[in-house]
Amino acid sequence: MFRYFLYVFMLLTSHALFAQDNLQQDLRLAQQYTRQGEYEKAASIYERLYEQNPKSSMYYRNYYNALLAVKDFTRAEELVKKQLKQDKNDPTLYIDLGLLLKGQSKFEDADAEFEKALKMAKDNQIQNIASVFSNADEHNYAIKAYLKGREIFKDSRMFSRELAQEYKQTGDTNNAISCYLDYAAIQPDHIQIIYNELQRFTNEEEDIEELQRQLYSRIQNETSELIYTEILIWAFYQQKDFEQAFIQVKALDKRLNEDGKRLMELAKKALTEKQYDIAIGAYEYVIAKGENNPLYVNAREELLNCRNEKITATPNYTQEDLRGLEADYIDFLRLFGKNANTISSIRDLAALYAYYLNITDNAITLLEDALRMSSVSAYNRALTKLDLGDYYLMKGEIWDATLLYSQVDKDFTDDMLGEEARYKNARLSYFNGDFEWAQAQLNVLKASTSELIANDALKLSVFITDNMGLDTSAVPMQMFARADLLIVQKKYAAAITTYDSLNRMFPAHTLDDDILYSRANISIEQRQYTQAAQYLETLLKSYGKDILADDALFTLAQLNEKHFDNKDKALECYQNLLIQYPGSLYVVESRKRYRQLRGERVN
């Protein structure tokens, strides 16, 4: 008897498993037909599956969608009504019926079914029917569903994010913004999500104005909600309106009695956009909090850096400006000492001496003293050595320079600092006329993880290859490399004399365009901008298809924008670069500058 029951059980089980396997196989086939757009075939399978399992909402939904796809409204309506007999209290079925009617252009009847679904919806059905409406692109009805949910739950901010997205779909910007701000008030921890959503409203002037209007209104009427001020500050950052951002950040810092951290962030952003006065004002605000403030020293140091950049980035800085900056650095180092914490300021002062005040000995002494400080980290020590090597090179002490570069290379072999040191040594070999050795080092550095080093290495490598490959004599290149070293050493008159000799001794040489470009750069260093522009114009006219053409055009654009204040000419240069040299490394920056000069907002 036991064996008999066991046999029957195994028979029934195997039959059930076989049936289940067939069901899964049919379902996969129907899904495949749906993906391929063969809805008739899919509908045929789903019909069979639904008839076998009439209580399965999945089979019903897939069958309904397949019929809708082939516009078989008659069968679809029969299906919905059949389903309604099973569950007349399911509001989504009335939505299905409404969609069928709408597909047949029976709009009033469709609206009646949609309204019926809304009317009968219970609290636990709101989210679902709103999603069904939304997925069917019935966004206005999705909005009605969520608003009804607010009434049911007596919560005027419920479903804020969902409503914002539905309003956005209907083009109702004002209500979309309002709902996102509601969402910010109830979920301040989701601020990054909110910023991502609001980003879409920062491209059009009228949208950003509406966002600001609503924020100001809420700040005034809901004084306890600080999140609105934070969003307003963010909105000003998107516009790069640092002046207004400064006002709001100061107010928030004062209200919360903070240490100035927000002001430091503002200053950093403003400095990135070269809004020097705003950055300086922010740092000074933090400094005014007093010496006991934890950000006091940092603010003092950053203020120095900001003033440094403001002066050196200005084409018409004076010797008085430079001496004033030097005095500020000396005062800072006297107050806070020369130590590991102030090493960045020590290096900055050294750079001021070497590159602007032309007192290379002071720069060298400053950094030699810094290297004797045992507390300086290995990384900062390496940075200091690289700087000091550059200043030795400027003074003509080649051996000392290469020794320092080699030390950094050895200590940071697998780091970008090591790669930078190797590039500097390769460039030294180039200056010395050892082009083969320089080329070997540069070929390795072209694969550098640093884009800047890789680009510089590639540029110098290509330059050596182009000008040595077909030349039977190395003399022109040796003369040019010697002139390059003279430029690094700021011996501009000697460099120009070398170029004159090169042009005279080797007329119509392949280096002629390089000489013109170097002459232009010397003129820029000497602030002879009109002369520089003439050299660049000559280069573009005579060598417009050569490798330096895009460099010359970009430099000319910069001269017109920053020094000649000739916006139209700058626009023309940037546009020509984008059109004539689409593969140039300057394309991204040229496009950005072009758009900004045209008054477009660039994020």
Question: Which amino acid would we find at residue 104?
Answer: Q
Residues 516, 518, 523: CA angle, nearest 5 degrees: 95
- Output the pLDDT for position 2: 47
* Cβ–Cβ < 8 Å for 58, 83: no
- Output the pLDDT for position 33: 79
Specify the CATH number for the domain of residue 560. 1.25.40.10
- Output the pLDDT for position 92: 93
Q: Is the pLDDT of residue 589 over 80?
A: yes
* Band (10; pLDDT cuts 50, 70, 90): very low
pLDDT, tens digit (0-9, with 9 covering 90-100), for 98-117: 999 999 999 999 999 999 99
Question: Looking at the chain, how many residues does it have?
Answer: 603
Q: Which of 292, 272, 295, 273 is nearest to 283 (CA)?
A: 295
Task: Report if residue 516 sits inside a domain.
Answer: no
- The values of phi and psi at residue 17, to 5°, are -65, -40
126-135 vs 107-120: helix axis angle to the nearest 10?
Answer: 160
Helix (H, G, I), strand (E, B) or coil at 584: coil
The helix (run of H) or strand (run of E) holding residue 76 is helix 73-86
Helix (H, G, I), strand (E, B) or coil at 309: helix
The helix (run of H) or strand (run of E) holding residue 87 is none
Mean pLDDT rounded to a whole number for the chain: 92
Question: Which amino acid would we find at residue 442?
Answer: L
> What single DSSP character describes residue 376?
S
How many whole angstroms separate alpha carbon 273 and alpha carbon 240?
Answer: 8
Task: Report if residue 247 sits inside a domain.
Answer: no
- Output the pLDDT for position 18: 42
Q: Is the pLDDT of residue 601 over 90?
A: no
Task: Report if residue 561 sits inside a domain.
Answer: yes
Q: Is the pLDDT of residue 12 over 60?
A: no
Instruction: Decide: residue 197, CB within 10 A, 0-12 exposed, 13-18 middle, 19+ buried.
Output: buried
- Output the pLDDT for position 56: 80
Q: Which of 367, 397, 402 is nearest to 383 (CA)?
A: 367
Q: Is the pLDDT of residue 140 over 60?
A: yes
Token pair 């914002």 in the structure block, residue: 164
SS (H, E, C) 102-118: HHCCCHHHHHHHHHHHH
H helix runs in 526-586, sequence order: 529-543, 549-562, 567-580
The whole domain housing 594 covers 533-603
Q: Which of 152, 154, 187 is nearest to 162 (CA)?
A: 187
> What single DSSP character describes residue 38?
-
Per mean pLDDT, which range of 131-135, 556-560, 598-602 is the poorest? 598-602
**How many other C-beta atoms are found inside a 10 Å radius of the C-beta of residue 493?**
10
Task: Report if residue 601 sits inside a domain.
Answer: yes
* Band (6; pLDDT cuts 50, 70, 90): very low
Task: Report if residue 594 sits inside a domain.
Answer: yes
Task: Give the CA dihedral 413, 415, 420, 426, nearest 10 degrees.
Answer: 30
- Output the pLDDT for position 469: 66
Q: Is the pLDDT of residue 17 over 90?
A: no
Q: Average pLDDT, stretch 73-78? A: 90
Question: Which amino acid would we find at residue 146?
Answer: Y
Q: Average pLDDT, stretch 558-584? A: 95
* Cβ–Cβ < 8 Å for 141, 164: no
Q: Average pLDDT, stretch 6-21? A: 44
* Cβ–Cβ < 8 Å for 158, 150: yes
Q: What is the DSSP string of 340-363?
A: GGGHHHHHHHHHIIIIIS--HHHH
How many whole angstroms separate alpha carbon 311 and alpha carbon 321?
Answer: 7
- Output the pLDDT for position 14: 43
Task: Report if residue 551 sits inside a domain.
Answer: yes
- Output the pLDDT for position 16: 42
Task: Report if residue 597 sits inside a domain.
Answer: yes
How many whole angstroms separate alpha carbon 185 and alpha carbon 191?
Answer: 10
pLDDT, tens digit (0-9, with 9 covering 90-100), for 295-328: 999 999 999 999 999 999 887 889 999 999 999 9
Q: Average pLDDT, stretch 14-29? A: 60
Q: Which of 183, 214, 219 is nearest to 201 (CA)?
A: 214
pLDDT, tens digit (0-9, with 9 covering 90-100), for 441-491: 999 998 888 888 999 999 999 999 888 866 667 899 999 999 999 999 999
Q: Is the pLDDT of residue 534 over 50?
A: yes
> What single DSSP character describes residue 338?
S
Task: Report if residue 337 sits inside a domain.
Answer: no
- Output the pLDDT for position 227: 97
Number of H helices and E strands in the chain, helices first, is 32, 0
How many whole angstroms separate alpha carbon 6 and alpha carbon 512?
Answer: 99
Instruction: Decide: residue 21, CB within 10 A, 0-12 exposed, 13-18 middle, 19+ buried.
Output: exposed
- Output the pLDDT for position 467: 85
Q: Which residues contact 88 (CB under 8 A, 6 or more apart)?
A: none
Q: Is the pLDDT of residue 203 over 50?
A: yes
579 token code pair:
């059109």
H helix runs in 337-450, sequence order: 343-351, 360-371, 378-395, 398-411, 416-431, 435-445
Residues 47, 48, 53: CA angle, nearest 5 degrees: 95
Q: Is the pLDDT of residue 11 over 90?
A: no
Q: Is the pLDDT of residue 15 over 80?
A: no
The number of folded domains in the chain is 1
